[in-house]
Each structure stands twice: as C-alpha cells, then as structure tokens.
Chain A
Amino acid sequence: MSLFKKLMMTAALSVAMLATAANAEPIKIGLVVKSLGNGFFDAANKGAQEAAKEIGDVEVIYTGPTSATAEGQIEIINSLVAQQVNAIAISANDPDALVPALKKAMDRGITVISWDSGVAQEGRQVHLNPSDTNLIGETIIKLAADHLPEGGDVAILSASSTATNQNAWIEAAKKVLPEKFPKINLVATVYGDDDSVKSTNEAKGLISSHPNLKAIIAPTTVGVVAAAQVVTDQNLIGKINVTGLALPSEFKKFIDNGSSQAVALWNPIDLGYSAVQISHQLATKKVEAKPGTTISIGRVGSITLDDTNSAAMAAPFQFDKSNIEEFSKIY
C-alpha cells in the first residue's frame, strides 16, 4: 500500500508538472452559487455562459452545494482550487466563514470576486452588487412616473418601518423626486410588514383615503402582490397603477391583467454575465482591483470600484408585457 502510494505520488508530481507546462488551456472560471436547483442562479449561469461565449476561450464551471451552507461552499472552493481554475466568482452563503478558504485560493494565484451576496473585503478582490440604493430609489419612482406623463399622486407601500433596505431606498426615492420628477406627488408611505394580510389592508386604506391616487409603489415583493390584488379586486385597473420590486413569476398575472404596467428587480442573467466579464479581466490582468478602477462589462455597461472595491451593476431590470413571460419562467 505504501509503495503503491509512493509510486502514485511520483506520478502525481509528473502529472502536475505536465499540467503547468500545457498553458494554452482556456481561462477557467468557477461560478459558485448559494445552492443548486434555484432558478435565480440557473439564470445567472445562463448569463455566465453567454459571457464566456462572447469572450471566447473561457470555460465557466457552474457549481454550488445542495443545501445553502458555508461548509458546502468551502468544499467546492477547495475542489476548484485543486482544479487550478483561474478565477472564482461566488455568491456567498456567509460573508465571514468563507474568508479563510478564499484567502487560500487567492494565495495560490486565483482571482476571487463575489457577486449578489458578498464576502468580507479581505476574502475577495471585487464585489459586484446587483444594484445600489440610489439606483433603486430612482427606479421605483421612474416606474410610476413613466406612466404618469401629467404627474399625480403616488403612495409607497413598504415592508416594515424598520427594514434597513426599504428605508434606504425610500429615502433615496424622496431625494430624487424634486429634481427629476417634479410633477410626482408622494402623498403617503405606509408599512405592510411584508405580511400579505397587513399589506392588503394598508393598500385598501391608501385607496380610500387618497381618492386621486394614481400609483402605488411597493418596493417589496410581498407588498407589490398584495396591492395589485387589491386593485384587481376593487376594479381599479387602469385607474391605479401598481409598481415596485417584484418577482416575475409571482407577478406575471398582474402585468397580464393590466393592474400593473411594469415592475423591476435585479436581473440574474446580467449578474452572471457581469461576474464572468469581471473575473475574466481580473484573471487575465487586464484590469487591477483597486478603488477608482473602471471595469467595462460588455453589453451591461461599466462599473467603477468604490473604496471597498465593490460596485453596483445597474439599475433594477424592468419587466413589462414584452418580457414578463420569459422571465416568469426563470425566477
């Protein structure tokens, strides 16, 4: 057994040397997701493959654990390191627990970026956020304003009054109102606590207390469905437009029945596409990961890294009658 092992080890070394000698291989990028069997990530992989085809000579390895655990992702990182991939682009299950494993990968010369769900700064070179607060704030107002050329009253139906994300978005939305959308009049902000029943009641309350209401903006996937259901039930389709952040699969019927003109959310296809574009440029040393660097990401545009080497991809992606069918099948 031990002699056999020794022989194998010798073979191992020669194989390893051969592997390094043959360097004309494609650039290998491991796209690690939180868990497999999730439509959102399958869509990201679709975008990643598209980017790989566009760049050429890039092989994307789409992988992830069965259950969304940090331990499972570490095993996958180890196996990608062993395969000598050029880059790892990960959507992390835990911002801290993956740091030692990813540091080890970087020590062995592998480019590491995180996307969607980030890793602490010391565990990656770049983090790609799907969007950022200001872009989201502007988008949710724009979604309503696009269909209100003469302006009018709108109201926001949020999640809980303490939700960090939503509060930041609403704050950003209020900031852009006077400058960019002077004719839009925000009359109220109510909180449905991401609870279907409470959100429904709050939406009904908004409609009865603001007779001139033209649009309800719900920057939460629960609230937007509840509001659209209320508008449908009260035969207000065409009078009140419901919009906000929504999952295409949950929201398709309300786009179809006209209670909503358009909603938005991050586009996983673009995320996967951008993650591969960025990893490729970092791995081939075309760009360097440092604050202030601008990286172009093909058809999606370009990003500029901030002080923590993270960047926002783009404004939320808009879903309307033209594309809801396609995206409702994805997530």
Chain B
Amino acid sequence: MSDAVHSPRTIPDRLDNPLRSAVLSWEALLVIVAVAIFVINSFASPYFLNAWSLSDLTFNFTEKALIALAMALLIITGEIDLSVAAIIALASTLMGMAVQAGIDTPGLVAIGILVGLGCGAFNGAMVTGLGLPSIVVTIGTMSLFRGISYIILGDQAYKGYPADFAFFGQGYVWWVVSFELVLFLVAALIYGFLLHRTSFGRRIFAIGNNPVATQFSGVRVGRIKFILFCLTGLMAGIASVLITSRLGSTRPSIAQGYELEVITMVVLGGVSILGGAGSIPGVVLAAFIMGLVTFGLGLLNVPGIVMSIFIGLLLIVVIALPIVWNRFRMQR
C-alpha cells in the first residue's frame, strides 16, 4: 500500500492484489451494509421475508436505478444531468398525447424512448456544443421539459393507456420476478460491461480524471460526453415508459424529485461526485440498499420524513467511513 500513497495521481483500479482490493473495496462494504439491512429488516418485521413483499420492494427503486446506471457514467466524466425527472414527465406526457391519437403499445414505447433520447441529445448538444456547464444547462432543461408538460396538461391527466401497455410497469416475467427487475438487471450487465470491459469505459474514467490530458491523447471528449447525455436521456425515456405503465396515467407532476434520488444512488454506489472513479456493481448495490431501507422502514410504518433522515445519515456514514478509515490507517 505504501507505494500507492507516494505515487502521483493514479486511477486506483488494479494496482493492488485483486483479492485484497476486492475484500477492502467499496462494493464489499456495500454488500455488508445490504446484508445487514436485510437481516435487520427480517427481524424487525414479520412481513419482510415474503416473496411478494420482496418483489414489491423492487418497484420502489428499479425505475430510478435504471437512470442511475447511465447517470453514474455521466458523473464519472465530471458532468451531471438534473433534468432526468423532467424528461420522464415530458416523455410520459407525449405518450399520453399519442394514446389520445390512437397509437398502440409498440408505438407508445417507441415515443417514450425517443423523446427521452431527444431530450438527452438536447442536453448533450448544449453542454458539448456550446460548452456550457452541465449543471446550469440541466437546471434549465429541468424547468423547460416539465414546463412543457404543464402547458400541455395543466391540471388534467392523460389516461386510457391500452391494457397490454400495463405489462411494462406491472407485469411479471416469472412468478414474482417483475419485468422491471429483469430489465434493470439486464441493463446493469450491459452498463457494467460498457464501463469496465471496453475501451469506451476506460476513456470515461480518463475524462473524469483529466479531460485536457485525455483530449490531447486523441480521445474525442466532447463526443463521448454527448453519447453519455444521450444514454442518460434514453434511460429516462425507458423509466418513463415503466412508470407511466405502472401508474396507468400521466400527470405533469409525475416522478417529481426523482433526480435527487437517482444522484443519491449514484453517490452511495461509490461514484465520486467530482468524477474519475466509480463502478456499476456499486451503483446496483446502492439501488438495492435504498430499496431495502425505504421498504423496511415502510413496513414499520416509519414516517417518510424519518426515512429521508435515515437515507441522509446512511449516505454520510457510508461515505465518511472509508475516508476516516484511511486517515486512521495512514496515521499509524
């Protein structure tokens, strides 16, 4: 470990003995936290360990977690997208309009996903094309996209989605395994492969650590960032299909506040908010932890405000713990 301390700025991935680093890793800590919460929940409520309860639990986080996968990549490059919840609202509103025009389920799904992709591309173009800071652009589009929904819908709601559209947000692939959960796990594999097993993924880390050096190394930084904004929009579009299907209706206030929960998942998953570090397994674990915590506290009928306090504390503790631990080790 001592050589790692003296070395200049590095990408600390694979420097250690793989086994040792796996045991000491962030993900290992998250696994311990997840198991601990799982066990505590099982003892705290007799209703927790039930196949249907555990299945219902996944609905609390799968939609947000899908977005978190793409958001993690974006945050690793040092950018952020605060407009994801607003993209959900706009995509859902346009799907609702399409229903009124008599478009069937495949068309609705395509519209939801394409609107998401389009919104993401708009964010990406503003950031990479005009060179504006992503936090400013996406705070703007957060109001813009949701504002359009409010103009279209006002205090009305779109409903009357076709019966087979309900499958995406309410359907089960097998027994208690929901479509949403399967989709999330498949997406997690794809994003994990993309980030950790491809050169595209290595470039994402490189951009986050030093965008200028990466640019001079011949990597098209702007293009990669643009692609990541598109991916984030795409995932928000997919999430919009799921949540619209789950609610069976659209209101402009749909998914209000989701952006912060998505970012909380990403940060809890060990992605550095300053960019340059993070992993998909971490984000997946964080998603499950958030689901376990909120559902477990829900079973005990803990009020929502106490739940947010709990999530806040969890975030601080999980982030502070390794830092304090490292300090303590270095001092010795």
A interface residues (Cβ-Cβ under 8 A, vs B): 1, 4, 8-9, 11-13, 15-16, 18-19, 36-37, 61, 63-67, 69-72, 74-76, 78-79, 81-84, 94-97, 99-100, 104
Contact = CB atoms under 8 A, between A and B. Distances in A.
Nearest to B45: A83
23 contacts: A8-B49, A12-B49, A12-B51, A16-B49, A19-B47, A36-B305, A65-B304, A66-B303, A67-B256, A70-B253, A71-B256, A75-B60, A78-B295, A79-B299, A83-B299, A84-B47, A94-B157, A94-B247, A94-B249, A96-B159, A96-B249, A97-B254, A100-B166
Contacts of A69: 253, 256-257
Interface string B157-173: 10100000010011000
Contacts of B279: none
A71 B47 contact: no
Nearest to B302: A63
B247 A67 contact: no
B304 A66 contact: yes
Contacts of A104: 170
A78 B299 CA distance: 9
B307 to A, nearest CB: 8
Contacts of B52: 82
Contacts of B166: 100
Interface string B164-202: 001001100000000000000000000000000000000
A36 B247 contact: no
A83 B42 CA distance: 13
Nearest to A36: B303
Given A70-B251, A78-B60, A97-B249, A37 B49 contact: no
A67 B298 CA distance: 15
A66 B298 contact: no
A66 B170 contact: no
B301 A70 contact: no
Interface of B: 31, 35, 38, 42, 45-54, 56-57, 59-60, 157, 159, 166, 169-170, 243, 246-249, 251, 253-257, 294-295, 298-299, 301, 303-305, 307-308
Given A72-B304, A79-B295, A97 B42 contact: no
Given A16-B50, A82-B48, A82-B53, 10 more contacts: A12-B42, A16-B49, A61-B301, A66-B303, A66-B308, A78-B56, A79-B301, A81-B56, A94-B247, A96-B159
- Of A4, A71, A94, which is in contact with the most chain B CB atoms at under 10 Å from its CB? A71
A13 B48 CA distance: 11
A11 B49 contact: yes
Contact of B304 (A11, A64, A95): A64
Given A75-B60, A97-B248, A9 B303 contact: no
Top 9 closest A-B pairs, CB basis? A12-B49, A79-B298, A66-B304, A96-B249, A97-B247, A82-B53, A78-B56, A66-B305, A100-B248
Nearest to B247: A97
Contacts of B31: 1
A63 B294 contact: no
A37 B169 CA distance: 30
Contact of B298 (A70, A71, A78, A84): A78
A82 B299 contact: yes
B249 to A, nearest CB: 4
B87 to A, nearest CB: 16
B47 to A, nearest CB: 5
Contact of B247 (A18, A82, A83, A96): A96
A15 B50 contact: yes
B46 A19 contact: yes
A69 B251 CA distance: 11
Nearest to B54: A12
Nearest to B157: A96
A94 B247 CA distance: 10
Nearest to A82: B53
Contacts of A72: 304
Contacts of A36: 303-305
Contacts of B301: 61, 63, 79, 83
A70 B166 CA distance: 17
Given A36-B305, A67-B256, A82-B56, A11 B247 contact: no
Nearest to A61: B301
A269 to B, nearest CB: 21
B294 A75 contact: yes
Contact of A83 (B47, B159, B251, B307): B47
Contacts of B157: 94-97
B305 A12 contact: no
